[in-house]
Amino acid sequence: MVLLIFTTVTAMVVAAEGRPLPPLLVVATVIGGALAAAGASALNQYIDRDLDGQMSRTKNRPIPSGRVPATHALIYGLLLVAVAVLILGVWVNWLAAGLAALGAAYYVILYTVLLKRNTVLNILIGGGAGAIPVLVGWAAVTGGLAPGAFILFAIVFYWTPPHSWALALLVNTDYARANVPMMPVARGAAAAREQIVLYSVQLVALTLLPLPFRLLGPFYLVAATVLGIGMVYEAVRLMRQKDGAAARRTYKYSTFYLAFLFLAMIIDQVLFRGLMF
């Protein structure tokens, strides 16, 4: 959730093009976005409570462990999403509120209900849910959407498969036990490693798109290039080493990668806005 909120704030900074952001706008967007993400997570855990009880990674979550009744989690999740939409609609704008509601529905209905248990494409398509917060951030500042917003969306969208599949390699036994068709279960670990390399290369190429669209400048270019080399290196090493340690390194680096990539966007906008190509 912290990473989702950070990408939202980054999108706000990029959309503002170096102009100061009103503090109330930032606070309302962060609170609304956090509540929407939390509500979607609670609803996800309500729906997946049977799967969570079968996997060692998730068996101690509130519902399968018995600490929270399932119906309470359902009501709690729905209330969080409703309050999030209300906060964003009243204190930000209704486009941002609608996008937050769309993101929650995307994650809960499209990913959790329709895709996760039924197809190996679950992460490929479902990754859009984690990318919608950047649209919320952009809409919060501009009241609309522009090509730049969809470039940021695409970066998070293409980051999700290598990040999630690296985790899936680590907990492959859990997913196999619960019969969830994540890439390593449905296509095998070797195929998952190959796909991580392919998506990492595509991701790095996408991170350079802000330059021709004049969204960001030289500082971001240097940061994106260095971070991207590291991402591809970790992906290739994972394909060669084929062990849990390599999967753990790739998963951790991918988290570090997205956080620092978006931090570079903020630094570029705040400190180097005048040095555009």
Q: What is the pLDDT of residues 142-161, one digit of tens each?
A: 999 999 999 999 999 999 99
- Domain regions of the chain by residue span: 1-145, 146-277
Predicted TM-score of the model (pTM)? 0.95
Q: Which residue has 């929650």 as its token pair?
A: 104
Distances (CA, A) of 18 to 21, 76, 215, 265: 9, 38, 11, 11
The one-character DSSP state at 119 is: -
Q: What 3-state class would DSSP assign to 92? A: coil
pLDDT at residue 272, as a whole number = 82
- CATH number of this structure's domain 1-145: 1.10.357.140
In this structure, how many other beta carbons lie within 10 angstroms of the beta carbon of residue 92?
Answer: 26
> d(Cα 77, Cα 243) in Å, to the nearest integer?
37
Q: Which residue has 């036994």 as its token pair?
A: 173
Closest CA to 36 of 94, 74, 88: 88
> d(Cα 205, Cα 207) in Å, to the nearest integer?
5
Integer-rounded Cα radius of gyration of the chain: 19
Distances (CA, A) of 71 to 42, 111, 147: 11, 21, 41
Contact between residue 96 and residue 139 where contact means Cβ atoms under 8 Å apart: yes
Q: For residue 26, give both structure tokens.
A: 């930032």
Per-residue DSSP letters for 178-234?
A: TT---HHHHT-HHHHHHHHHHHHHHHHHHTTTTTTTTSS-HHHHHHHHHHHHHHHHH
- CATH number of this structure's domain 146-277: 1.20.120
Q: What 3-state class would DSSP assign to 57? A: coil
Can you give the pLDDT of all 277 residues of the chain as single tens digits? 899 999 999 999 999 998 999 999 999 999 999 999 999 999 999 999 999 999 998 999 999 999 999 999 999 999 999 999 999 999 999 999 999 999 999 999 999 999 999 999 999 999 999 999 999 999 999 999 999 999 999 999 999 999 999 999 999 898 988 899 999 999 999 999 999 999 999 999 999 999 999 999 999 999 999 999 999 999 999 999 988 999 999 999 999 999 999 999 999 999 887 565 5
